[in-house]
Chains A and B, each alone.
Chain A
Amino acid sequence: MGTSDAALVRRVRAGDTDAYADLVARYRDRLGRYALHMLGNREDAEEALQDAFVRAYRSLARCEDPERFGAWLYGILVNRCRTTGARVARRARRFVHDPAALETTSLPGPADQTEWDDVVRWALARLAPESREAFLLKHVEELEYEDIAQLTGAGVSALKMRVKRAREQLQAILREAEHV
Chain B
Amino acid sequence: MFDQFDDAVERVVRHLRRPVSIDPALDQRVMQKIAALPPPSRGVWRWLTARREVALSPLGALGIAAAVAAAFIGVWRMRVTPPPASAPDSALHGFQFVLVEPRAVKVSLVGDFNDWDATRTPMHRTSRDGLWSAVVSLQPGRYRYAFLIDGRHWLADPAAPTAGDDDYGAPSSVVTVGGGGS
**A residues bordering B, Cβ < 8 Å?**
12-13, 15, 17, 20-21, 24-25, 28-29, 32-33, 36-37, 45-46, 49-50, 53-55, 57-62, 64, 75-76, 79, 83, 116-117, 120, 123-124, 136, 139-140, 167, 170-171, 174-175, 179-180
Q: With a CB–CB cut-off of 8 A, which chain A residues contact B170?
A: 62
Contact A12 B15 (CB under 8 A): no
Contact B37 A58 (CB under 8 A): yes
**B residues bordering A, Cβ < 8 Å?**
5-9, 12-13, 15-17, 19-24, 26-27, 29-31, 33-35, 37, 39-46, 49, 112, 115-116, 165, 167-168, 170
Contact B27 A28 (CB under 8 A): yes
Q: List 23 A-B contacts (CB under 8 A).
A: A13-B39, A17-B34, A20-B30, A24-B27, A25-B24, A28-B26, A28-B27, A29-B22, A32-B21, A33-B19, A54-B30, A54-B33, A54-B37, A57-B34, A61-B44, A62-B170, A76-B167, A79-B165, A116-B15, A136-B16, A140-B16, A167-B5, A175-B8
Q: With a CB–CB cut-off of 8 A, which chain A residues contact B165?
A: 79, 83
Contact B16 A37 (CB under 8 A): yes
Measured in the bound complex, the distance between the Cα atoms of B17 and A47 in whole Å is 21
Contact A61 B40 (CB under 8 A): yes
Minimal Cβ-Cβ distance residue in B for A15: B39
Measured in the bound complex, the distance between the Cα atoms of B27 and A142 in whole Å is 25
- Chain B nearest CB: distance from A9 CB in Å? 9
- Chain B nearest CB: distance from A179 CB in Å? 7
Q: With a CB–CB cut-off of 8 A, which chain B residues contact A24?
A: 26-27, 30-31
- Chain A nearest CB: distance from B26 CB in Å? 6
Measured in the bound complex, the distance between the Cα atoms of B145 and A23 in whole Å is 27
- Point out the residue from B8, B16, B33, B40 that lies within 8 Å of A60, measured CB to CB: B40
- Point out the residue from A36, A55, A61, A124 that lies within 8 Å of B20, measured CB to CB: A36
Contact A123 B22 (CB under 8 A): no
Minimal Cβ-Cβ distance residue in B for A86: B165
Minimal Cβ-Cβ distance residue in B for A179: B8
Measured in the bound complex, the distance between the Cα atoms of B46 and A146 in whole Å is 26
Measured in the bound complex, the distance between the Cα atoms of B16 and A23 in whole Å is 24
Measured in the bound complex, the distance between the Cα atoms of B30 and A170 in whole Å is 35
Minimal Cβ-Cβ distance residue in A for B46: A61
Q: With a CB–CB cut-off of 8 A, which chain A residues contact B9?
A: 167, 170-171, 174
Minimal Cβ-Cβ distance residue in B for A167: B9
Query: Top 7 closest A-B pairs, CB basis?
Result: A32-B22, A60-B40, A33-B20, A61-B45, A180-B8, A53-B30, A140-B16
Measured in the bound complex, the distance between the Cα atoms of B35 and A53 in whole Å is 13
Q: With a CB–CB cut-off of 8 A, which chain A residues contact B41?
A: 61
On whether A61 and B21 interact (CB within 8 A), knowing A17-B35, A53-B30, A55-B167, the answer reads no
Contact A49 B26 (CB under 8 A): yes
Q: With a CB–CB cut-off of 8 A, which chain A residues contact B167?
A: 55, 59, 75-76, 79
